[in-house]
Amino acid sequence: MSSIVISLKNISKRYVMGDETIFTALSDINLDINKGEYVAIVGQSGSGKSTLMHIIGLLDKPTDGKVMIEGKDISTLDDDATSTLRSEFVGFVFQQFNLLNKLTIKENILLPVEYARRKFDYNPSERADYLMKRFGIFDKKDSFPNKISGGQQQRVAIARALIMNPKLILADEPTGNLDTKTGDEIMELFGELNKEGITILIVTHEHDIAERARRQIKIKDGEVVK
Amino acid sequence: MKYVIDLFKSAITDFGKNKGRTFLTSLGILIGVMSVVLLMAAGAGLKLYISQQFESLGTNLLYVMPGNMFGEGGTGIRAGAGGSIAPIFEEKDIVDLKRIKEAEYVIPYYQKSIKVSFEAIAEYSTLNATSEDVFPSRNFVAEYGTVFSSADNSARNKVAVLGSKIAEKLFSDPSLALSKKIRIDGQSFRVIGVLQSKGGGGFGGPDFDNYIYIPYKTGYIFNTDKKFIEIMVKAKTSEALPLLKEDIKNVLLKRLETDDFSVVESTEILNTIGSIFSILNVVLVAIAAISLVVGGIGILNIMYVTVSERIKEIGVRRALGARRNDILWQFLAEAVVLSVFGGVMGLGISAIVVFLMQSFFPAYISISSILLALGTSSLIGIVFGVFPAKKAADLSPIDAIRYE
């Protein structure tokens, strides 16, 4: 059991629309992600894959079903506890990069540390330096995000996702805003990170991106089809 | 603690990148704090000014006034039931009061607005017909010539002592005034002295330098009733004041009724004036405080704008683990920084204005008004910042991160 990072049990998500019709975004999803896995969730837009990602990323709560993290049901946690768990458990990589333009590259990478409520057994600033060196962006550490290329911004975002040493990296269309070559480089980076034992979950609608993962989960109309 | 420092540091960095907007938003608070601090400084200065004026008159003074002007409590002015405020004191009272052992000086008071002329130059002035004691009791010293004596009074000599300002108006060079004949309401007087300047006047206080002094018996030319509105009595020592007060009452009661007159100390008058000014000042400061509220609404408005502009940022921060309160504190800190920035600027500008004012008016900024200014501006930041900050904190992470 301990090798399961996150486990979804009978997850459903329904929205009440304006005229009281109910829209089912997800229905009865069961999913386990194991430690060290490289998983892709594939589906067209509107398939429910984003909703699924938000639930896995603890940004949203399911209408029904249980989310278990390392064997613990988290549906009963309050907002503060969920926020803390989010900072410990998951590192986000977004399609739009979502860096804060008024902070420098290094400050962006260290932003999650500001919200951490624990002592670190490593020096976060040194880890940020190490990640920047490794991703080839160390010379940009005092630049601002709008002054560097898209590929570099996504590397910053990945470094930010890794700074807290999370159990899971959650990437939402990470190559969506990048050209093919840069996208490939970013995907290679994910591959390398996974080889080092980091659990990665990528949400994408592109099959050639999904191909790189070791396991693919296809979503259609809110259900797992494969 | 580091958390709090980081919070404010990040708020200040944020504003550094939006200088124009920050300044305009703070301007409301700046003006509010400035008007409150300046009014408090002016009020404090006015009080100081009045007490300085009283001190310049000399201490250990008792004022004998017609009517029961001050109740036993000593602060409320009320016209006495049986008393009038017409001049009632006579020459006999002056002589009797002079006999009291504790009385050092006795100064009757007859005042009249007059026209004074020297050759072709005519000026308006205030005539004081009084005793020779007025000069030592008020620390008036002749700069040129001399002051009149009791002999001048007894002989009803038509001699005049001029304040420095009126002497300058009439003669340009005050030293030229000596022995010159001036006309006071048509009566010819010889100038025997010009006093050193005492300053003051111009803010409703007595303008001693513009006064003309003549012996009170000579003054009967103008004071045809031979009555005086007030008599000032100076005690030999401050310890003698209470005894002197009793003695004056006993002397005057032989001739007058209790309600006809009052004997008050200068501190009692000072307290009364002080309390009137305090009330006035509180009212003025309260009116000025309205502009602080207006400034606060400016902050409220701009913070709502800031929150809507930064919904995406809020979403990112929540995704990275920020709690609801982290977001709340972030925006609250920004509102407080905005507001305190305005407060400090307002205080700074007030300090400059007060510094410039001090050359002609003893206004000063007290510690309490500094604390009040900083306290209210941070309070305004909190009060008007809390609603937008709450709005930011209550955004659901999922809605915020999806916001485009």
Q: CA nearest B90: which of B57, B61, B66? A: B66
**A84:B321 CB<8 A:** yes
Asked if B17 lies within 8 A of A102 by C-beta distance, the reply is yes
Tell me which chain B residue has its CA closest to the CA of residue A55: B398
Cβ distance of B326 and A115 shorter than 8 Å: yes
Please check whether residue B244 is in contact with residue B45, taking contact to mean a CB–CB distance below 8 angstroms: no
Which residues are CB-contacts of A167 (< 8 A; sequence separation ≥ 6)?
Answer: A5, A6, A35, A69, A70, A88, A89, A90, A199
Contact B320 A54 (CB under 8 A): no
The tens digit of pLDDT for each residue in B364-397 reads 888 888 898 889 889 999 999 999 999 999 999 9
**Residues in chain B closer than 8 A to A87 (CB atoms):** 320-322
Q: With an 8 Å Cβ cutoff, are B320 and A92 in contact?
A: yes
The pLDDT tens digits of the residues spanning B332-353 come to 999 999 999 999 999 999 999 9
Q: How far is B2 from chain A (nearest CA, A)?
A: 10
**Cβ separation of A102 and B325 shorter than 8 Å?**
no
Query: Which residues, listed in sequence order, are joined to residue B384 by a DSSP beta bridge?
Result: none
Put simply, the answer to whether A116 touches B321 (Cβ < 8 Å) is: yes
Average pLDDT of the residues in B122-139? 89
- From A60, A80, A115, residue closest to B320, measured CB to CB: A115
Contact between A79 and B320 using a beta-carbon 8 Å cutoff: no
CB contact under 8 A, A59 and B324: no
3 state DSSP class of B341: helix
Give yes or no for a contact between A57 and A170, defined as CB atoms under 8 angstroms apart: yes
User: Does B397 sit within 8 Å of A59, measured CB to CB?
Assistant: yes
Q: A169 CB near a chain B CB, below 8 Å?
A: no
Least Cα separation, residue B275 to chain A (angstroms) = 54
Question: Which chain B residues are Cβ-neighbours of A94 within 8 angstroms?
Answer: 401
Q: Determine the Cα angle at B106 with ends B102 and B110, to 5°.
A: 160
Q: What is the pLDDT of residues B173-210, one digit of tens each?
A: 888 889 999 999 989 999 999 999 876 555 555 678 88
What is the SS3 assignment for B253?
helix
Which of A85, A114, A164, A203 should be substituted to probe chain B, the one whose Cβ sees the most B Cβ atoms within 10 Å? Answer: A114
Instruction: Say whether A88 and B321 touch across the interface (CB within 8 A).
Output: yes
Q: Are strands B61-66 and B142-145 parallel, antiparallel or unpaired?
A: unpaired
Per-residue confidence of chain A (226 residues) as pLDDT tens digits?
458 899 999 999 998 887 778 888 899 999 999 999 999 999 988 888 889 999 999 999 999 999 999 888 988 889 999 999 999 999 999 999 999 998 999 999 999 998 988 888 899 999 999 999 999 999 999 999 999 999 999 999 999 999 999 989 999 999 988 999 999 999 999 999 999 999 999 999 988 889 999 999 999 988 888 7
Nearest residue to A203 (alpha-carbon basis) of A219, A226, A188, A179? A219
Report helix, strand or coil for A187.
helix
Chain A residues closer than 8 Å to B397 by CB? 59-60
Q: Give the span between the Cα atoms of B11 and A94, in whole angstroms.
A: 26
Among the partner-chain residues A57, A83, A94, the one whose CB lies closest to the CB of B323 is A83
| pLDDT score of B31 more than 50 | yes
Residue extents of the structural domains in chain A? 36-62+72-224
pLDDT at A57: 92
Pick from B315, B320, B398: CB nearest A111? B320
Q: Is the CB of A59 less than 8 angstroms away from the CB of B401?
A: yes
Provide the pLDDT for residue B85.
65
Distance CA B369, CA B182 (A): 51
Cα separations (Å) of B208 from B220, B227, B252?
22, 22, 29
Report the candidate in A164, A139, A165, A161 with the shortest Cα–Cα distance to residue A152: A139
How many angstroms from the chain centroid is the CA of residue B253? 36
Torsion angle (degrees, nearest 10) of CA B116, B119, B122, B125: -20
**For position B200, what pLDDT does the model report?**
58
- Interface check for A160 against chain B (CB to CB < 8 A): the answer is yes
Measured between alpha carbons, how far is A67 from B93 in angstroms, rounded to an integer?
A: 102
CB A171 within 8 A of CB A198: no
Residues of A in contact with B323 (CB under 8 A): 79-80, 83-84, 115
Q: What is the ipTM of this complex?
A: 0.92
Confidence of residue B77 (pLDDT cuts 50, 70, 90): very low
Which residue in chain A is spatially nearest to B318 when comparing CA positions?
Answer: A83
Identify how many contiguous H helices and E strands chain B contains and give both numbers. Answer: 12, 10
pLDDT the model gives residue B219: 92
Res. B71: pLDDT tops 60: no
Whole-angstrom Cα distance, residue B270 to residue B21? Answer: 48
pLDDT at residue B311 tops 80: yes
User: Given this model, what pLDDT does residue B335 score?
Assistant: 93
CA separation for the pair B201, B222 (Å, rounded)? 25
pLDDT at A110: 94
Residue A98 touches chain B, beta carbons under 8 Å: yes
pLDDT above 50 for B81 = no
pTM flag (> 0.90) = no
> Residue B35 and residue B289: Cα distance in Å, rounded?
8
> Is residue B75 predicted with pLDDT exceeding 50?
no
**Using an 8 Å Cβ cutoff, are B267 and B63 in contact?**
no
Chain B: which residues have CB within 8 Å of chain A?
6, 13-14, 17, 312-313, 315-326, 397-398, 401
How many CA atoms, within 13 angstroms, populate the side-chain half-sphere of residue A224?
16
For residue A100, the chain B residues in CB contact (below 8 A) are 313, 316
As a whole number of angstroms, the distance between CA A112 and CA B394 comes to: 20
CATH number attached to the domain at A36-62+72-224:
3.40.50.300
Q: Do the Cβ atoms of A80 and B323 come within 8 Å?
A: yes
Pseudo-torsion of CA B283, B288, B289, B291, nearest 10°? 150
Q: Is the dihedral of CA A203, A206, A207, A212 positive or negative?
A: negative
A79–B401 C-beta distance less than 8 A: no
**Residues B101-130, mean pLDDT to the nearest whole number:** 90
Q: Which residues of B touch A157 (CB under 8 A)?
A: none
Mutation test of the interface with chain B: which of A82, A83, A93, A103, choosing the one with the most B Cβ atoms within 10 A? A83
Residues B218/B153, Cβ–Cβ less than 8 Å = yes
What is the pLDDT, as a whole number, of residue A156?
A: 96
Interchain pair B321, A87: CB under 8 A: yes
- Please judge whether B326 and A112 are an interchain contact, meaning their C-beta atoms are less than 8 angstroms apart: no
Q: Check residue B197 and report its DSSP letter.
A: P
Q: Is A177 on the interface with B (CB under 8 A)?
A: no
* Contact with chain B for residue A62, Cβ under 8 A: no
**Interchain pair A115, B321: CB under 8 A:** yes
Residues of chain A positioned with their CB less than 8 A from the CB of B320: 86-87, 92, 111-112, 115, 160
Contact at 8 Å (CB) between B341 and B33?
A: no
Tokens 């590929």 belong to residue: A151
How many C-beta neighbours within 10 Å does residue B278 have?
A: 12
Q: What is the average pLDDT score of chain B?
A: 86
Q: Residue B80: what pLDDT?
A: 42
CA dihedral A224, A166, A149, A172 (to 10 degrees): 10
Cross-chain CB nearest to A115 (options B13, B17, B322): B322
Cα B51 to Cα A88, A210, B42, B198, B262: the distances in Å are 68, 87, 14, 14, 21
Q: Does A145 touch chain B (CB under 8 A)?
A: no
- The percent of residues in chain B predicted with pLDDT above 70, rounded, is 93
Please say whether the beta carbons of A53 and A90 come within 8 A: no
Cβ neighbours of A114 in B, within 8 Å: 6
Which of A168, A164, A163, A166 lies closest to A33, judged by CA? A168
Query: Which residue among B312, B316, B322 places its CB closest to the CB of A83?
Result: B322
Confidence of residue B58 (pLDDT cuts 50, 70, 90): low
Distance in angstroms (rounded) separating the CA atoms of residues B32 and B17: 25
